[in-house]
Amino acid sequence: MAIFGPGSQDPWGDALGALRRIQDEMNRTLGGAGARAVATEYPPVNIWRGENGVIVAAEMPGVSIDNVEVVVHQNTLTIKGRKDADADAGAVSFHRRERATGSFARTISLPFNVDAGQVKATAEAGIVSIELPRPEADKPRRIQITTA
């Protein structure tokens, strides 16, 4: 069933089409990926949650591990660091610059408190993996029901 009768036009059709074209043009001009963009924060992360804890994998290619700090407090994880500029870049001017440099910080709210004393972080191939175990006292417990 058509909302608009014969001979009438959708008053929003032209306006929405124009807005989509403007958005596409802005994405092309600014180098954005439009709807395909997945992460807008740095570092991008994947987070897995299980009954016993959380695993966070942060993608940081080109970042020296010496420049990364991982801080855990209750149910919050903060990843801070600095991505240094290329050493060779001082003597030249850029033709195109897409790789960001400088300081970054990302704070992630976790689904439960973690045992900060048991947190482990490892790095391999530009991925920092952080294992955040859940304290025993914070884990769900099954309660046995007894009869009176």
> What residues in the chain have per-residue pLDDT under 70?
1-16, 31-40, 87-90
pLDDT the model gives residue 2:
47
Per CATH, domain 41-86+101-138 is 2.60.40.790: yes
pLDDT the model gives residue 22:
82
End-to-end CA distance of the chain: give it in Å, rounded.
64
| pLDDT digits 0-9 by tens, 106-115 | 999 999 899 9
| pLDDT digits 0-9 by tens, 17-37 | 777 778 777 777 776 554 444
pLDDT the model gives residue 15:
65
Q: Is the pTM of this model over 0.85?
A: no
* Secondary structure, 3-state, the chain: CCCCCCCCCCCCHHHHHHHHHHHHHHHHHHCCCHHHCCCCCCCCEEEEEECCEEEEEEECCCCCHHHEEEEEECCEEEEEEEECCCHHHHHCCCCCCCCCCEEEEEEEECCCCCCHHHCEEEEECCEEEEEEECCHHHCCCCCCCCCC
Cα maximum dimension of the chain: 83
Kindly list the domain boundaries of the chain, sorted by start residue: 11-38, 41-86+101-138
